[in-house]
Structure 1
Amino acid sequence: MTTPTVVLVHGAFADATGWIGVIAELRSHDIPVIAPPNPLRGLASDAAYLASVVSQIDGPAVLVGHSYGGALITVAGAAENVVGLVYVAAYVLREGESIAQLLARFPDSPLTSNLKEWTYPLHDGHRAVEVTIDEAAYPAVFAADVTKDVASILAATQRPLATAVFAEAAATAAWRTRPSWALVAGADRTINPEVQRFGAERAGAVVAEIPDASHAVALSQPSQVADLIRDVVRATS
């Protein structure tokens, strides 16, 4: 019996260190795990990068996506060696759907009014727009259940998301052919919990919920997140 490698995919306004507690928990149970960087530049290109990483794993893989990382695993999860998908406070798209289209079904979260725009250069000489969360609002919007000191550091080190991501449609929905699980953060102020529930239920995912968890649930509740992933690893081994 081969234990799948767990691939942890972070979302926007964060980096892979947000998985630190989850990684420690999984490794304590001898579960192989990696947390590759997410480029945050475009849904198709980011998913292609993730699929490339996954295709080079020797053996089966379970993909775990947080936030925008959920959109990536929806597309990259079609890789041949993927045996399960786990959505953590995440977007769960259907094929042909964009994040903007999914969000339009529901009231805005506080994230929407607290985004700060920046620009960055493209290869053709033009400039594109990316966004971060306003630093003063970051703790309340993203990480209300972690310490103020940690939330302040997260706000200062957040990685921006290209706004082009919101309009890109998912080319495929791997949950149609892969078993999926979802963890809903019930007090999330970045992605409306109703958005999380809708996508997870539409995908036929096994759904769990932590009622008081913020969007930073992997950081604030690593044991509960890791427990769900361990259940998935057992179910797919």
Structure 2
Amino acid sequence: MNNLQTLLMSSAMAVGVVTAQSGSARADVNNIVLVHGANVDGSTWRDVYDRLTADDYKISVVQMPLTSTEDDIAAAQRIVDVQDGPMLLVGHSYGGVVISEVGVDPDVRGLVYVAAFQPEAGESGGGLLASSPGEFSSQMLTVFEDGHYLIQEDAFLSVVGNGLSDEDAIFVARSQAASNSAILEYETQSAAWTEKPSWSIIATLDRTIAPDLQRQMSERAGSTVVDIENGHMLPMTNPDDVANVIRQAAEEVE
């Protein structure tokens, strides 16, 4: 074999190695869709978004109207439909109900629940809260004639916002997105976690969705469980930890 043939063969082998490595890299899920909870909006994900985009993940943040769960599912599905390949869905709090429904889409490869409801088909967020009560209660709500509600500021600061700085807790409390009470009554039609891998981040100091309830739901689902010692608003209080779990999930799903 002359030098030219040797060089060409070596080059071909090198290209083959690079191609195989690139193919392996493309097998990882790069699209990540973030779904916020009730009474807030997608801005609660900003710190997690910044960390994941710095790693070249393509991050999309759903903005739900919170007028009904059906409307919220439709809003999330629109974002899922415009992704350019397989994806991971991440839901915080009530967002767990939404990703459990939308996650049946064939392009969704896995789900991450962050201090979230992880309902079985036929269950509702309100029913789950009643089954294992935390400190959150209906007495903390101001309900309007059209069925929408806001969480009273003192309750938001002490129950929902524990773990946030005083400044952040007050800002989130005073920038609430009014949610329709029907979202707590909606009975889930699908539970995508029964067919797809899931991760559950449990907020061990959560006063809104009791940590024991989070653990029961995640164990029932066979989720990979990660505990974070903080309150309900983990995307804001612990963005590094939350982003790390999302990276792990994106690397492990097929």
For normalisation by structure 2, the TM-score amounts to 0.86
Residue aligning to 1:231: 248
Seq. identity, %: 35
Output the CA distance in 1 between the equivalents of 2:215 and 2:137: 18
- Tell me the residue number matched to 2:177: 159
Tell me the alpha carbon deviations over residues 78-130 of structure 1, each in whole angstroms, 9 at most, x when there is no partner. 111000100000001111112222223212423443122123xxxxxxxx311
Instruction: State the one-letter code of the partner of 1:217.
Output: L
Could you tell me which of 142, 148, 157 is aligned with 1:139? 157
TM-score, normalised to structure 1's length?
A: 0.91
The more displaced of 105-114 and 51-60 is 105-114
Cα separation, 1, equivalents of 2:172 and 2:188: 29
Corresponding residue SS for 1:110: coil
Alignment of 1:1-237 (within 5 A): 1-2=26-27, 3-119=29-145, 128-211=146-229, 213-236=230-253
Partner of 2:85, secondary structure, is: coil
Over 3 Å counting, the alpha-carbon distance change for 1:51 and 1:88 in structure 2 is same
Q: Distance in 2 between matches of 1:82 and 1:191?
A: 25
Report the Cα offset of residue 183 of structure 1. 0.2
Cα deviations by residue, 1:20-67 (Å, 9 ceiling, x for unpaired): 110111011111101120121222331132123202211011000000
CA contact (8 A) 1:183 1:207 kept: yes
* Contact 1:93 1:173 (C-alpha < 8 Å) held by counterparts: yes
- Residue type at the aligned position of 2:70: A
Structure 2 spans left out of the alignment, 5+ residues: 1-25
Separation in 1, partners of 2:180, 2:193: 25
Larger radius of gyration: 2
Q: Provide runs of 4+ in structure 1 moved above 2 Å.
A: 107-113
Deviations 1:161-191 (A, max 9, x none): 2111122111111011110000010111111
- The secondary structure found in structure 2 opposite 1:184 is strand
> 3-state SS of the aligned residue for 2:154?
coil
Between the two proteins, the alignment pairs up a number of residues equal to: 228
Which is richer in helix? 2
Could you tell me how far apart the structure 2 residues matched to 1:193 and 1:112 are? 19
Distance in structure 1 (CA, Å) of the matches to 2:224 and 2:196: 12
Aligned to 1:123: none
* Alpha carbons 1:7, 1:33 under 8 Å: kept: yes
Structure 1 residues 192, 112: CA separation in 2 closer, same or farther (over 3 Å shift)? farther
AA of the residue aligned to 1:137: A
Any stretches of 5+ residues in structure 1 without a counterpart?
A: 120-127
